Structure 1
Amino acid sequence: MNMTTKSISNSKVDISNIKHTPILIALILGAMVAFLNETLLGNALTVLMKEFDVSASTIQWLSTAYMLVVGILVPITALLQQWFTTRQMFFTAMLTFLVGTLIAGFAPTFSVLLIGRIVQAIATGLISPLLMNTILIICPPEKRGATMGLIGLVMMFSPAVGPTLSGLIVDSLNWRWLFYFVIPIVIISILIGLKYIQNVTELTRPKVDYLSILLSTLGFGGIVYSFSASGDLGWSDSKVYYSLIIGALSLIIFVVRQLKIDNPILELRAFKFPMFTLTVVLMFIVMMSLFASMTLLPMFLQTVLLVTAFKSGLVMLPGSIVSGIMGPVAGKLFDKLSPKTIIIPGIGLVACSMWLFKGINPETTLTQIILMHSLLMIGLMFVMTAQTYGLNQLTPELYPHGTALFNTLSQVAGAIGTAVFISKMSSGTTQYMENTTNPMDPAEKLNGLTSGFQGAFTLGFILVVVALVVSFFLKGQKKEAKATQLLHNEN
């Protein structure tokens, strides 16, 4: 009863005269630069280490801090969207991103550069859930697949093309252009938003539970930090396991509290919708494999096949382009067909690519890797429609919470997946070298690296098979979304 009442109250906002396309352009441009910046510094870290005379363990904070801040902020966005209008959220996010980009671009020291990255991350944590929630409100369920296909293109293509752009810019221009070239895109997004962004949500301004915000920050922040830092510090480091313990305990208390208080900052009752819960599990597993693969593949190319950073980015570019083409196609097919006929074959393609990757060795050609990576990206574009299907199951007042859950768990999955896969790769390499009779032989060192990468991709294959099994429990029809569609039509 409570849910129905809230859903009807949301219908007070008139969205009948809203111009969808320019709103989506403004939001997608903002999300594009935000997602791009997650991987844009990938091939520039070595250059930045020399520029600022810092170690590898220090420079990695440019990436770790970004993911950490996003992981902390995203859960709170569901609350923020109930307190601030769509326009206020959008302009706050984009102006914050612009400020962070300017700080980073003109940074005289590493500390200032890190501050700029943190400010950018704050904006990313705001814009991503805002984009998803706005789409759920202004697009009827039967048309969301095509729109989400475009979002999938942004979410997959932008981070994937980051290393290529990074290598190109660093090789031909000063590293500061990594930030300079983003500025015009942000300004265009802001100008379009000034004219077309409209408020699409009704503000309820619920009571703010500051203890829940603290628990959320400690919980998600502690877990993301521990897994991100484990790759560099190791699990035996006190900072890593204490962060994990504090994060896990805080998260448990956070969950219990959200289920008891009247105005939770993250409505966990969304998990009462079985298909939503199933898609969250499915996406968590797939996102673990995605983030890990995006980290492992460039490492394999540069350490085993000995290609340059820029060339490794070029090798991954065709897959990114293919994903850009297939994203909208997958979305349109989702609107016409049942979820299972899109999602299951997608996971099947991801599983096939992982099966092929687990056999890579020094004899593997770049052409073969391009084909395997392209197959992976095509499969992922189809799998991304699972997020649309899961959100379609929710009633409108749960949209902000559903998008916050998906975005938060994506960051957590990325941190966990990257740490687990790199740890598996490192342990596999170490184990091989301990058993070899001539560990100083360069050929054996190469074999050791190969063994490590094969073990990591084998783990990825196993996880994707688990996701494939989970996908068979999805319902073939979108019956659960009918109530949501009726409520949307009433608007």
Structure 2
Amino acid sequence: MKLTKEYITLIIFLIATTFLSTSQTVVTTGLTGIMADFQISSTTAQWIYSSFLLVLGVMIPTSAFIARRFKIRKIIVYSLILFLIGSIISYVAPSIYVLILGRVIQAVGAGILLPITQIVILRIIPKEKWQVFMGLFGFIIGIAPALAPTIGGFIIDNAGWRPIFLIFSIITFILIIISAIGVKLEFETSDYSLDIASLILCTIGCVGIMFGFSNIAGHGFSLIYVILPIVIGAVALIVFGRRQFNIKAPLLDLRIFKNKYFFFGTMFSAILYFTMCGLNVLMPLFVQSISYYSATESGIVLLPATIIMIVFNFLGAMLAHKFGVRKILIISCLFTIAGYLVMMTYDINSSINYMMFTQILRAIGAGLGLMPIVTWTISVVSGNIEDATAINTTVRQLIGAIGSALSVVILALFAGGTLAHNRVSVSAFGETSLTMAFLAVIMLIIVILFIYDNVEPEEFN
């Protein structure tokens, strides 16, 4: 397919909408103000962000059906309308429950836009340029969650939290007008039917597992809040998986897992995402709860690494395009292993500068690996872009949620249940870091055994 001006315009517009969707970390900076306004606890307030992530995870599996069934312009316009409605509701919310409702509606729109953008890029761009464009996509969408807390903090300090949602509303309204007038490119669609039973099972499965694991930090291994949701979610996903092989129009074509390259590529990206999400919880805990630095200093520790990872999201894809994905992923694993092993040298007196600079090692590894492996994994089943994108993204989302929760559990278990400013907690952090390094070794083994530069794509039609 020739890359025309019309295609490039559509890609730029879609990335702009995705940039808006991924800037949701800005909301976390307003939690303190929201807690004060609504007189609620931090446990309740965190659902403003957690509910968004849960619904996002539920919507992503539907993207394969939506991409096949509806015109691109309709998908974009209606998704943005949902995001606009959610933003307006959040802006005027008189209570925490209305605010959470607004966030849920926002997430429905964002959950459609994120994978659809990736699907469109892979449909439009010639396969030999996938790594380059996906690297650019990863670079741009990585900027939003990195900068949003800083920008949001400035706005909230000067005007409060509600203007955040007013800004979302204005930008979204402008994007709706542009999309309604300017998006003209369309792909072929079909009367692909939606299997309601599969959708319900997938929703129960994703929500159950993410809800259960997300509650571990606050409720331990509670039967009602943790174990029961995880069991229900796991059973629902097993039934969902079996159903996909036995119906004519599956919500997700899971047959592509029969391709061993897709299977192990998805496994690699899931493990990498597990460690990345886990790290985002572990480092603030170490900096604040063990080393007794402030929350601001905790943010400073991770900021340079976050910027480096965003840059290497793009560089990794460019290097994979030039030198082959296998070599780049091996280097990614080595940097990741080294990064976690260095974290074992942290102690109570480790300086902010030392932690800040050593985090860059791990960030280079994560940045080099994520976009190249995602792009390569989808390329090995390039005839099933919609299903491959939805499956790969959903698995990463689920495993990432599990990683965030289990990392805290592992750290607490090694520490004997309580984190404190002592040697036991430091030792526990080192052992948890070693666990992450071991997972990176597993990633390296996967690359050596199953990731190759020239794999013939396979279709399952």
Q: RMSD of aligned C-alpha atoms?
A: 2.4
Matched, 1:338 2:324: yes
Change (3 A) 1:196 1:323: farther
- Is 87-96 or 314-323 further displaced after alignment? 314-323
Cα shift readout 1:128-183 (whole Å, capped 9, x = no counterpart):
11011001100011111111112222444433444444444444441224434444
Matched, 1:222 2:208: yes
Query: How far 1:231 sits from its partner (Å)?
Result: 1.8
Query: How far 1:65 sits from its partner (Å)?
Result: 1.2
DSSP-derived class of the 1:262 partner: coil
- Is 128-137 or 456-465 further displaced after alignment? 456-465
Alpha-carbon distance between aligned partners in 2 of 1:157 and 1:474, rounded to the nearest angstrom: 31
Change (3 A) 1:428 1:225: same
Change (3 A) 1:403 1:226: same
Change (3 A) 1:36 1:301: farther
Cα shift readout 1:163-220 (whole Å, capped 9, x = no counterpart):
4444444444412244344445434544543454344432112222211111111111
Structure 1 equivalent of residue 27 of structure 2 = 41
Give the TM-score taking structure 2 as reference length: 0.92
* Structure 2, unaligned runs of 5 or more: none
Alpha-carbon distance between aligned partners in 2 of 1:182 and 1:316, rounded to the nearest angstrom: 26
Query: How far 1:50 sits from its partner (Å)?
Result: 2.4
Structure 1 equivalent of residue 374 of structure 2 = 387
Matched, 1:201 2:187: yes
Query: How far 1:330 sits from its partner (Å)?
Result: 2.0
Alpha-carbon distance between aligned partners in 2 of 1:167 and 1:303, rounded to the nearest angstrom: 23
Q: Number of matched residues?
A: 458
Alpha-carbon distance between aligned partners in 1 of 2:283 and 2:170, rounded to the nearest angstrom: 31
Within 5 A, what are the aligned runs for 1:19-418?
A: 19-37=6-24, 39-384=25-370, 385-396=372-383, 398-418=384-404
Change (3 A) 1:190 1:135: same
Query: How far 1:22 sits from its partner (Å)?
Result: 2.1
* Structure 1, unaligned runs of 5 or more: 1-13, 434-443, 485-491
More relative contact order, 1 or 2 (CA 8 Å, 6+ apart): 1
Contact 1:276 1:393 in 2 (8 A): yes
Alpha-carbon distance between aligned partners in 2 of 1:181 and 1:380, rounded to the nearest angstrom: 32
Cα shift readout 1:405-454 (whole Å, capped 9, x = no counterpart):
11111210121001100111222333578xxxxxxxxxx64444434433
Change (3 A) 1:358 1:235: same
Contact 1:35 1:154 in 2 (8 A): no
Query: How far 1:369 sits from its partner (Å)?
Result: 2.0
Change (3 A) 1:347 1:186: farther
Structure 2 equivalent of residue 478 of structure 1 = 454
Structure 1 equivalent of residue 441 of structure 2 = 465
DSSP-derived class of the 1:479 partner: coil
Cα shift readout 1:302-353 (whole Å, capped 9, x = no counterpart):
3334444344333322223223333322222222221101111112212211
Query: How far 1:114 sits from its partner (Å)?
Result: 0.8
Alpha-carbon distance between aligned partners in 2 of 1:184 and 1:306, rounded to the nearest angstrom: 41
Structure 2 equivalent of residue 3 of structure 1 = none
**Which residue identity does 2:286 align to in structure 1?**
F
Alpha-carbon distance between aligned partners in 1 of 2:339 and 2:84, rounded to the nearest angstrom: 38
**Which residue identity does 1:466 align to in structure 2?**
I
Alpha-carbon distance between aligned partners in 2 of 1:144 and 1:454, rounded to the nearest angstrom: 38
Change (3 A) 1:226 1:158: same
Query: How far 1:105 sits from its partner (Å)?
Result: 2.7
- Is 379-388 or 48-57 further displaced after alignment? 48-57
Pick the aligned partner of 1:454 from 415, 430, 443. Answer: 430
Structure 2 equivalent of residue 419 of structure 1 = 405
Alpha-carbon distance between aligned partners in 1 of 2:46 and 2:424, rounded to the nearest angstrom: 25
DSSP-derived class of the 1:472 partner: helix
Alpha-carbon distance between aligned partners in 2 of 1:450 and 1:198, rounded to the nearest angstrom: 57
Contact 1:255 1:268 in 2 (8 A): yes
- Is 400-409 or 190-199 further displaced after alignment? 190-199
Alpha-carbon distance between aligned partners in 2 of 1:45 and 1:375, rounded to the nearest angstrom: 31
Identity %: 26
Change (3 A) 1:42 1:354: farther
